[in-house]
Chain A
Amino acid sequence: MKKPEKGKRNPLVAVVLIIIVLVWTIPTLGIFITSFRESSDIYGSGWWTVLPHKDNVKTGEIELPADTDPNKPVEIEGRTATFEQWRMGVEFEDGRMLRWFGNKRSRKIEVFEEKWVGFGANLTLKNYRDVLGGGMVEHTDSEGNIISRQGSNFADAVLNSIAVSIPATVIPILIAAFAAYAFAWMEFPGRRPLFIIVVALLVVPLQIALIPILRDYTGWGLNGTFVGMWLAHTGFGLPLAIYLLYNYISTLPRDIFESAYLDGATPFVTFVRLVLPLSIPALASFAIFQFLWVWNDYLVALVFLGDQNRVVTSALAAMVGEKGQDWHLLTSGAFMSMIIPLAVFFGLQRFFVRGLMAGSVKG
Chain B
Amino acid sequence: MPGTDANLFPVFRRFSMSGNIDSNWNPFALAGLVVLTAVVLVGGFILLQTVQAYKVLMTVFAVVWGLLSTALLFFVLNAVAENMPRKIRSVSVAVVFAGPAVILLFWALVIPTLRTLRLSFMGAYAREYVGFSNYEFAFTDPIMLESFRNNLLWMIFGTSFCVIMGLVIAVLADKSSREKVFKSLIFMPMAISFVGAGVIWKFMYAYKGEGINVTEIGLLNAIVVAFGGEAQAWLLIPFWNNFFLIAIMIWLQTGYAMVIMSSAIKAIPGEINEAARVDGANSFIIFSRITVPYIMPTIITVTTTILIFSLKLFDIVRVMTGGNFGTNVIANEFYLRQFTYGNSGQASAIAIILLVVIVPVLLYNLKEFRRRRVLK
Contact assessment for B109 and A194 in the assembled complex, using a CB-CB cutoff below 8 Å: no
CA distance A290 to B334 in the complex (A): 24
- What separation, in Å, do the CA atoms of A249 and B204 have in the docked complex? 46
Chain B nearest CB: distance from A217 CB in Å?
Answer: 11
User: How far is it, in angstroms, between the C-alpha of A16 and the C-alpha of B59 when the chains are bound?
Assistant: 46
Q: Which residues of B contact A210 (CB under 8 A)?
A: 112, 338, 351
Total inter-chain residue pairs, C-beta < 8 Å = 390
Across the interface, B348 reaches (CB within 8 A) one of A89, A167, A211, namely A211
Asked if A186 contacts B113 (CB within 8 A), the reply is no
Q: Is B15 an interface residue (CB 8 A)?
A: yes
Report the interface size class on chain B.
35 or more
Smallest CB–CB gap between A229 and chain B, Å?
10
- B111: nearest chain-A partner, CB-CB: A212
Q: Name the residue on A nearest B45 (C-beta).
A: A227
Least distance between A290 CB and chain B CB atoms (Å) = 13
Given known contacts A21-B186, A205-B354, A267-B18, A338 and B191 CB-to-CB distance under 8 angstroms: yes
Q: Which residues of B contact A175 (CB under 8 A)?
A: 70, 100-101, 104
Q: Looking at the complex, which one of B190, B199, B305, B350 makes contact with A320 (CB distance below 8 Å)?
A: B199
Q: Which residue of A lies closest to B352 (CB)?
A: A208
Q: Is A74 an interface residue (CB 8 A)?
A: no
The answer, yes or no, to whether B62 is at the interface (CB within 8 Å) is: yes
Pairwise interchain contact A17-B173, C-beta atoms closer than 8 A: yes
B138 within 8 A of A: no
Q: Which of B30-38, B139-147, B155-163, B212-220 touches A? A: B212-220
Interface string of B203-241 (1 = CB under 8 A from A): 110100000110111110010000000000000000000
Segment with Cβ contacts to A, from B129-137, B288-296, B355-363 = B355-363
Given contacts A34-B203, A211-B338, contact A187 B216 (CB under 8 A): no
Contact status B318-A179, CB under 8 Å: no
Report A315-346 residues with CB < 8 Å from chain B CB. Answer: 316-317, 320, 324, 327, 330-331, 333-334, 337-338, 341-342, 344-346
A17-B172, A208-B116 known; A327-B62 Cβ under 8 A: no
A235 within 8 A of B: yes
Q: Is B308 an interface residue (CB 8 A)?
A: yes
Instruction: List the B residue with the shortest CB-CB distance to A226.
Output: B62
CA of A74 to CA of B133 in the docked complex: distance in angstroms?
A: 72
Within 8 A of A (CB), among B343-376: 344, 347-348, 350-352, 354-355, 358, 361-362, 365-366, 369, 374-376
Say whether A171 contacts B66, CB under 8 Å: yes
A131 to chain B, nearest CB (A): 12
Contact of A264 among B21, B115, B187 (CB under 8 A): B21
CB distance from A200 to the nearest CB of B (A): 6
Are A182 and B348 interface neighbours, CB within 8 A? no
Whether the Cβ atoms of A212 and B199 lie closer than 8 Å is no
> With the chains together, A231 CA to B69 CA distance in Å?
13
Contact call B358/A203, Cβ cutoff below 8 A: yes
B residues in contact with A231, CB < 8 Å: 104, 108
Query: If the complex has contacts A7-B175, A16-B172, A198-B105, are A209 and B113 also in contact, measured as CB distance less than 8 A?
Result: yes
Interface SS majority for chain A: helix
A211: contacting residue among B49, B119, B212, B215, CB under 8 A: B119
Q: List 25 A-B contacts (CB under 8 A).
A: A4-B277, A14-B176, A17-B173, A25-B185, A28-B188, A31-B199, A43-B217, A48-B222, A160-B59, A171-B70, A175-B101, A178-B98, A188-B95, A198-B105, A203-B362, A208-B354, A225-B48, A226-B48, A235-B104, A266-B78, A296-B192, A330-B203, A345-B191, A346-B191, A360-B260
The chain B residues found within 8 Å of chain A, CB to CB, are 1, 4, 6, 9, 12-18, 21, 23, 45, 48-49, 55-56, 58-59, 62-63, 66-67, 70-71, 74-75, 78, 82, 90-91, 93-98, 100-102, 104-105, 107-113, 115-116, 119, 165, 169, 172-173, 175-178, 182, 184-196, 198-204, 206, 212-213, 215-219, 222, 251, 254-256, 259-260, 263, 274, 277-278, 283, 301-302, 304-305, 308, 311-312, 314-315, 318-319, 331, 334-335, 338-339, 344, 347-348, 350-352, 354-355, 358, 361-362, 365-366, 369, 374-376
A residues adjacent to B (C-beta < 8 A): 4, 7-10, 13-14, 16-17, 20-21, 24-28, 30-31, 34, 42-48, 87-89, 99, 142, 155-156, 159-160, 162-163, 166-167, 170-171, 174-176, 178-179, 181-189, 191-192, 194-205, 207-213, 216, 225-227, 230-232, 234-236, 238-239, 242, 246-247, 250, 254, 257-258, 261, 264, 266-268, 270-271, 292, 295-299, 302-303, 312-314, 316-317, 320, 324, 327, 330-331, 333-334, 337-338, 341-342, 344-346, 349, 353, 356-357, 360-361, 363
